[in-house]
Amino acid sequence: MSKTDENLLAGLRDESETYMRYHAFARQAEAEGLANVAHLFRAIAEAETVHALNHLDALGGVGETSENLKTALSEEEGDLFTMYPEFIRQARAEDRTEAVMSMTWIQQSEKAHFGLFRSALETLAREEGDIEMEDYYLCANCGYVAVGVAPASCPVCRAPQKMFRNIT
């Protein structure tokens, strides 16, 4: 990897982390009744998205959809079977209950994500065209994605149905 590619990758990571941090800052500003500051954080977060996407494009990090699905499957599989099991083990060893809970929820959500991506890739491999149009519902508490309807309670974190939002 060239030094420029290393720099682009470092920039991609930084811009992506900044995007998430600014959304967290916006959530906190809203909690404090500062809606306009929250709006500013969200606006700048979107700019960070543009920066990250430009770096990803320069790295050649987006391929055809079937390749992108394979990449997504690989990433979800690594999270599910390698990264999060190790992270959970370490958090337990350090008696970090909240971290264990967060990481366990994520690991369980990743399993569902993996299944959705695998199904989409299988549909493309059968040359059936695009996948069926579905409604997707995101649990705002843990990141689980339900297909079709929001469940009465989240199968991962047990959050009530009102915690789900339709992803359009």
Question: From CA 155, how far away is CA 59, in angstroms rounded?
Answer: 37
* pLDDT tens per residue, range 49-82: 999 999 999 999 999 999 999 999 999 999 999 9
Is a pLDDT exceeding 90 seen at residue 85? yes
Chain-centre distance for alpha carbon 100: 18
Averaged pLDDT for residues 85-99: 97
* pLDDT tens per residue, range 114-141: 999 999 999 999 988 899 999 999 999 9
Tokens representing 127 are: 């040359």
Phi, psi of 25 (to 5 degrees): -65, -40
Name the DSSP class of 80.
I
Please state which architecture CATH assigns to domain 3-58: Up-down Bundle (1.20)
Averaged pLDDT for residues 39-50: 96
Chain-centre distance for alpha carbon 23: 13
The 3-state DSSP class for residue 155 equals coil
> Full-prediction pTM beyond 0.75?
yes
> Tell me: domain 133-168, CATH 3.30.230.10, correct?
no
Closest Cα to residue 103, out of 83, 126, 73? 83
Strand arrangement of the beta sheet that strand 136-139 belongs to = 145-147, 136-139, 164-167
